[in-house]
Structure formats: C-alpha cells, structure tokens
A and B are shown apart, each in its own frame.
Chain A
Amino acid sequence: MNATLSQPHEAVDPLKLLRRPGVRLVSIFGSLDEDGSRRVHYAVDIDNRQYRIVSIPGEGAIASATPITPAAAWYERELHDQYGVAIEGHPDLRPLLFHDNWAEDVHPMTAGFEKVPPGTRAPYRFLKVEGEGVCEVPVGPVHAGIIEPGHFRFSVVGDTVLNLELRHFYTHKGTEKLFENMPIADGCLIAESVSGDNCFAHAVAYSQAMENSFGVAVPARGRALRLIGLELERMTAHIADVGALCGDVGFTVPAAYTARIKESLLLASTRFFRTRFWRGVAVPGGVTIDLATADAAELKRIVAEAARDFDELAKIILETPSVQNRFESTGVLARDVARNLAVVGLVARASGLKLDVRRDHPYGRYREFPTEIAHHSQGDVLARARIRIDETAISARLIADTLSEMPSGAIRTSIPADANAEGYSAVESPRGELFYWVRVRNGRIARCHIKSPSFQNWPALPLAMPGNIIADFPLINKSFNLSYSGCDR
C-alpha cells in the first residue's frame, strides 16, 4: 500500500528479497542514523501490489544487488557517490553524479560534510568499442534543440549504432542535500523544481509522503483537485510529446497543432488556477487554490475540446505512411530488457509490462475507482506514441468525471509542525513511478529521497539503440522523453 511505514527497519536480507520472483526494485538509497552512521534502504514492489522497504547498516561493505538485478546499478553508484558506502561485487563503480572537476572522495551526504574541496579526479573512462570501421560519435552536453544537457557516446559502423553509452548528471544540483533541515512546507518548493514539466506530480508525491508519515488525510475536495492537476499535467506532457515526435520526422503541421492544444490547457490553468504549471498548488495537507463552482463547467469544456482536437489529430498522425515508416519497429525495447531494468511508466507499458501506480498502489482520489490502463507490447516508437494518445483520452475522461462529481468542503488540512515521522509515497507521474521517502525530525526534513522515473528509465534507452541508425536517435530519445533534471537531481 501507499502508506506509512509501520516498521522502518525490517530485519530482512534485501538481496534474498530481490531474488524472489515478482519482486521489482523501486529504489536503493542511503540515510544517516542519529549518530551519523550510514544506513542503506531497499524499496521494492511485491507483485505490483505492495511496497516494502528493508534497511541494513551501511558502515561496513555491503554486497552489490546489481548481479541479481541490473536495475540496481545506478542506485548503487549514486549511493557510493553520495555516502561513500563500499559496495562489493558491483561491476562498474565509476562516478555517476560527479564529473572530473570534483575532488576525489567527496561524499556530500555524509556527516560532517561542509563543502567540496578544490581538486579534480581521474578522467572518466568511456567503454571502448573496437573493431574495423568502428567510429565514436560524441554528442552533448549542449544539444542542438531546446533540451536539457547530457552526453551520448555512440559507437557506430557507418550509420548503424553498435553501442550507446550515457554520461549524464550535468544538471546534478545536490537537490537531496538541499532538503536537509528545511521546514516541511519549504520542501515542496524544492520538489517542484526537480523536474519542471512534472512539477505538480513531484509536489503531490512529496506532500503525500508527508501526509502518510503523519497519518493526515487530505479532504475529499483537495484530493479531487489534485487528480485534476495530475491528469492535466499528464495530458499536457503527452500531447507535447506526440507533437515533438512528429517534429522529429519532419511532420511539422501536426507538431504546431499539438503545441496549440497544449497551450490551450496551460492558458486554462492560468485562468482558473492562476498558474500555468500548477506550481504552489499542492502543499502537505492538501491544495492552496480552489476551483470556483461556476468555472468547473468551463474547464470541463476546454479539456473536452482539447481531447477531441487531439484525438482527431492523432488519427491523422497514425494513418500517415511516412510517420508509420519512421515510428514502426524503431527503437524497440524488448519486454525482458524492460523488466530486468525495472523500467516504469509509459515506456514499460509500451513494452508489455502492465505497471501503473494509479492502479497498483492507488492514492488520493484514485482509491475511489479502478483506473483504466493503456497497454501495448511492441516496445517501439509507435507503441510509445500510441500509449500517449490512449492515455490522453483516459486522462480527459478522468478529469471530466471528477469535475462532474466535485466533493464540497475544505481543500486543505494541517500537518503537525513539531514532530518526528518517516514515510513514503508514490505517484504515477507522466513519465512513471515517482517515489518519495521522507524523514522528519523536530518538524524539519532530515532526509528526502526522490526516485524519479527518469533515473530508472535512462539506462534502458541505450538498449533500444543497437541496430538502429544514428539519425533515428533523436526520435527514439524523444519517444522515451526522459527528464535530465529529474534523473540528475
């Protein structure tokens, strides 16, 4: 369930747990005990039904989970960077968060850390693909489009990609460290700035983690407004992504049209909630802005119109031969690869994995009805486009249903100001499972860990590339549309 932790430190061997069938790794992260000693937490999802967190001491060396599940690889590298935890048996402990202009042995999340000392570290070693005719193509961190920074290292023969290696974390801002000692209310401001295009999902996930920790229930009207915000954010993201995919195959008219539909939704949010992206709306305990009763019908009309326009456009897009030619069988992420890397969100659902936090671990308003899930199995760009099209229609229906039956009453309740608590929450953001774990000491945040769907899904992108031509990379990358900032934090 999506709830409070009854036993924060269960005495279970996490590696044994990860070996069990039906267990999916959600996150691995560190924390400090009261005495400053390190602890390692493993969050898992059992049979898509139940989250469970087990913890072990992190002072001595711990055994790597990566040989059991490759999904653990980046989490353990991050744990090593942040906390300096020794991890035995990890195949690749190269620095993940810190680039060459950071001194060696910097572990910002450990007790007593003050600032990064001057110095540099040994140059990062990329994997080397060797053989006759193999060329390396480095791309980024500054890209050609208006997108976030990251580095892609392609090894190609002719146009065909043999291997793609990612070097990310250019946007690493030490976000988890920034939460330390913040008042509970201010944590929301940081959560909103983890991944700007999914800022409402982050704010809700953070707020719910606090509400679960303190056992606080958000009033029904607050829950309904959150659903509207979350589904509007999903619609906006999906519509923009489908447009961007059209742009990447030179089909610019629908790209402009989707941009217009997206803007109509942002303008509606401005009109009714005074914010384009719902920043500042979710807070621990509920929401800050109510929807006037008279405005509900108008918002419903605008959302329905956007959904109808997008649906018509989507039919045209999917029936266009040049689009089919570029989307179909491009960038296939096989189902078993997706499962091994514990991929989440629409990328998982496009590769045949039925995962959705709204259905599997319902929260807020989603507890009150079963959520319909879009599902495809081909794992190619086309499947990822179709998922977005299907889900946009579902989101519009969810918003319409919610607006038709808006509960009355309060939108917000209070959170205890001066207390100790610990808990977590998960939200299905437009990109997938977003998981927040928080610990509060004397009313201040002691630790906040963010598992973002992008951190989970980025390692899967290179595995959809081999055999594709390098010119299709922008399209394949866009079809995943992962957040760099959400991943790098």
Chain B
Amino acid sequence: MIFDTVKQSLSSQRVLIPVEQLLTDVQGSRMPDVQPSLLTAEIARRAVDACPTTALTLEETDGRTQLVLNYADCIACGRCIEAGAGAFVAARKLTCCGVAKSGLVRRWDVASGAEIASGEREMENTAREIRSLLGRALNIREVDTGSCNGCEAEIVAMTNPYYDLERFGIHFVASPKHADMLLVTGPVTRNMVEAVRQTYAATPSPKLVVAVGACGCSGGIFAGSHATAGPLDAIIPVDGYIPGCPPTPAMLLSGILQVLQRRS
C-alpha cells in the first residue's frame, strides 16, 4: 500500500513554487495598496471612513494632508478597496513582511498622490548574530497567544509541497528550548500572558521574536477587549512583524526570510 502512495506522489506534477515568486507576494491576502495617480481627497476620506479599524487615517502636517496606511492595524476586510473607486486595490506585491514596526506604515501626500518614504528599517544585531551562528538553518517554535487559528492554518500551509519551508533549512520544533525564533500569533489574551512570558524565558538567547497577523502586530480586531492584554510587543520584545488577517504562506515565508536577512 505504501508503495502505491509513494508511486502516486512521485508520478504527480511538481507544485513547488520558486522562492523568487513567493517573496513579497501578497495575493489572496486582501491587503490594500494605493494607486497614487487615482488618489483624491474625496476618495481618501471615503476609504478612511470605510475602515473599521485605525489602519487608514488622515494626518495634517504643515497644512498638507497625508493618507496614512498602517498595515499593523489592517484586518484585510477589503472595505477601502470597495469604497476606493480604483485608488485602493488588492495588493499583489508588498515589502511589509518581516520588517520593524515603523516599516508597516506607509504615507501618501493626498494632494499630489506621491508616496512619502516609509520608516527606517532598524539594524538588528540579534538577526545577524543568529545568522552568523547558524547560516540559514533556523528552528521555530510557534506560539498561539489566542489567535482565531487562521494564522495557524497558514503557518501549517507553509510546510505543504507548494511552499516547502524545509527547503530553507527552517523547521518547526516542539519546545521553546529548541528554538531560535518564536513565531507568535494572537492578541495575547489575559489568560495567555503568563504562558507567553514563560515561553519567551524558556527560549535560549540569542532569539528572535516575530509577531504574526493583525492580532500579533496590533491586537487586530480584538485590540481593546477586556479579555486581552496585548499587543505582543507590550509583553515581550519583538524583532519583526508580519501583518495580514491572516498572512498568506507567501507572506509568512517572505517575513521569516526578511527578518533573518535584515540589514541596516
């Protein structure tokens, strides 16, 4: 029987997606992007009003209005895309996975439509230290601090034959004691705070912490609930952020690789 299975899998078509195709790909995530040429004050206002979180805001600086898009707060509901008359579109490629928190924020001058350079990417000593010690091999412990399990579904999908995380020498391990990186989902519920702190303490240094999903980055739709205590970076130090609700396997993979390779 086992031979039938092996035969079947060997005869089937290869589905592995090349890494170049995965990096920065965000299709299927419904994360928004802005088409600067179509942006007007009216459309920006409509999109900001349609946003159910604080992901889209307008800021006045020196008499000019800026549209601010913070991917940390974005739950990918698609409402700005619906309201944005073509100026807001479902992004195909984004470089916001695995960056520092400031790298999740983008700004546009509403009048001219021009994008204003985004936040600095911070120098990460820890990332360099781990890279110098391990090359690209990496052990990840996944920690769910109260997610809806959407992020877990996508993290598991990273190991399927399309994405094949193991090709990069990256493995999921069963204990924080074996981990170089904690991949953390969820808004950190009050009931999980202690477990999160203990898991972090049990992970040997040097270690990396990556916050995953809108909940991991900002608390997402659960921010402000009486039963949550997060976001994650209020509880333990975080090295990189992967936004999305949930982030797709391509975004997770891009983010993990980005955190490992990040330079100043």
A178 vs B225: C-alpha distance in the bound complex, in angstroms? 7
Stretch at the interface among B97-105, B111-119, B157-165: B157-165
Judge if A197 is at the interface, Cβ distance under 8 Å.
yes
Q: Which residues of chain A (194-217) have a CB below 8 Å from chain B?
A: 194-197, 199
Supposing A142-B176, A189-B52 touch, asked if A257 and B90 sit within 8 A by C-beta, the answer is no
Judge if A170 is at the interface, Cβ distance under 8 Å.
yes
| A141-156 to B contact mask, C-beta < 8 Å, 1/0 | 1101111110000000
Which residue of B153, B160, B192, B194 is within 8 Å of A196 (Cβ)?
A: B153
Which B residues are CB-close (under 8 A) to A275?
28, 30
Add 8 more A-B contacts to A101-B190, A172-B191, A263-B162 (CB < 8 A): A142-B176, A144-B174, A148-B144, A178-B225, A193-B222, A195-B148, A253-B6, A270-B27
Judge if A62 is at the interface, Cβ distance under 8 Å.
no
A binding-site residues for B, Cβ under 8 Å? 97-99, 101-102, 108, 113, 115-116, 141-142, 144-149, 169-175, 177-178, 186, 189-190, 193-197, 199, 253-254, 256-257, 259-260, 262-263, 266-267, 269-270, 274-277, 279-280, 288, 312-313, 316, 319-321, 483-486, 488
Judge if B193 is at the interface, Cβ distance under 8 Å.
yes
Q: Which residues of chain B (159-193) have a CB below 8 Å from chain A?
A: 159-162, 172, 174-176, 186-187, 189-193
Supposing A193-B150, A263-B157, A274-B28 touch, asked if A173 and B222 sit within 8 A by C-beta, the answer is yes
The 15 sampled A-B contact pairs (Cβ below 8 Å) are A98-B191, A102-B190, A115-B226, A116-B226, A144-B175, A148-B144, A173-B187, A193-B220, A196-B153, A253-B2, A253-B9, A263-B157, A275-B30, A316-B4, A320-B1
Which A residues are CB-close (under 8 A) to B264?
none
Which B residues are CB-close (under 8 A) to A313?
5, 8
A186 vs B51: C-alpha distance in the bound complex, in angstroms? 10
Which B residues are CB-close (under 8 A) to A263?
15, 157, 160-162
Which A residues are CB-close (under 8 A) to B161?
256, 259-260, 263
Closest chain B residue to A276, Cβ basis: B28
Q: Which residues of chain B (131-170) have a CB below 8 Å from chain A?
A: 142-157, 159-162
A173 vs B223: C-alpha distance in the bound complex, in angstroms? 10
Those 10 A-B pairs whose CB atoms lie nearest each other, nearest first: A196-B150, A174-B227, A270-B28, A144-B174, A259-B160, A196-B148, A171-B146, A174-B225, A196-B149, A193-B148
Judge if B22 is at the interface, Cβ distance under 8 Å.
no
Q: Do the beta carbons of B142 and A146 come within 8 Å of each other?
A: yes
Stretch at the interface among B34-42, B74-82, B231-239, B254-262: B74-82
Q: Do the beta carbons of A170 and B160 come within 8 Å of each other?
A: no
Chain A min CB distance to B224 (Å): 8
Judge if B243 is at the interface, Cβ distance under 8 Å.
no
Of A108, A262, A274, which is in contact with the most chain B CB atoms at under 10 Å from its CB?
A274
Closest chain B residue to A321, Cβ basis: B1
Which B residues are CB-close (under 8 A) to A483?
149
Q: Do the beta carbons of B90 and A149 come within 8 Å of each other?
A: no
Chain B min CB distance to A284 (Å): 14
Judge if B216 is at the interface, Cβ distance under 8 Å.
no
Q: Do the beta carbons of A257 and B148 come within 8 Å of each other?
A: no
Which residue of B192, B220, B225, B226 is within 8 Å of A149 (Cβ)?
A: B192
Which A residues are CB-close (under 8 A) to B9?
253, 256-257
Q: Which residues of chain B (205-264) have a CB below 8 Å from chain A?
A: 220-222, 225-228, 245-246, 248
A160 vs B202: C-alpha distance in the bound complex, in angstroms? 30
Closest chain A residue to B160, Cβ basis: A259
A271 vs B162: C-alpha distance in the bound complex, in angstroms? 16
Q: Do the beta carbons of B193 and A274 come within 8 Å of each other?
A: no
Q: Do the beta carbons of B27 and A141 come within 8 Å of each other?
A: no
Closest chain A residue to B153, Cβ basis: A197
Supposing A253-B9, A256-B9, A484-B149 touch, asked if A174 and B226 sit within 8 A by C-beta, the answer is yes
Judge if B199 is at the interface, Cβ distance under 8 Å.
yes
A189 vs B142: C-alpha distance in the bound complex, in angstroms? 25
Supposing A99-B190, A253-B9, A312-B8 touch, asked if A280 and B175 sit within 8 A by C-beta, the answer is no
Judge if B195 is at the interface, Cβ distance under 8 Å.
yes
A99 vs B75: C-alpha distance in the bound complex, in angstroms? 28
Supposing A189-B52, A253-B9 touch, asked if A171 and B195 sit within 8 A by C-beta, the answer is no
Closest chain B residue to A264, Cβ basis: B15
A286 vs B27: C-alpha distance in the bound complex, in angstroms? 24
Supposing A174-B227, A259-B159 touch, asked if A485 and B191 sit within 8 A by C-beta, the answer is no
Q: Do the beta carbons of B149 and A189 come within 8 Å of each other?
A: no
Which A residues are CB-close (under 8 A) to B142?
146
Q: Do the beta carbons of B160 and A279 come within 8 Å of each other?
A: no
Which B residues are CB-close (under 8 A) to A312?
8
Of B90, B144, B157, which is in contact with the most chain A CB atoms at under 10 Å from its CB?
B144
A260 vs B54: C-alpha distance in the bound complex, in angstroms? 36
Q: Which residues of chain B (49-102) have a CB below 8 Å from chain A?
A: 52, 75-78, 82, 90
Closest chain B residue to A174, Cβ basis: B227
A98 vs B76: C-alpha distance in the bound complex, in angstroms? 30
A101 vs B229: C-alpha distance in the bound complex, in angstroms? 11
Q: Do the beta carbons of A280 and B160 come within 8 Å of each other?
A: no
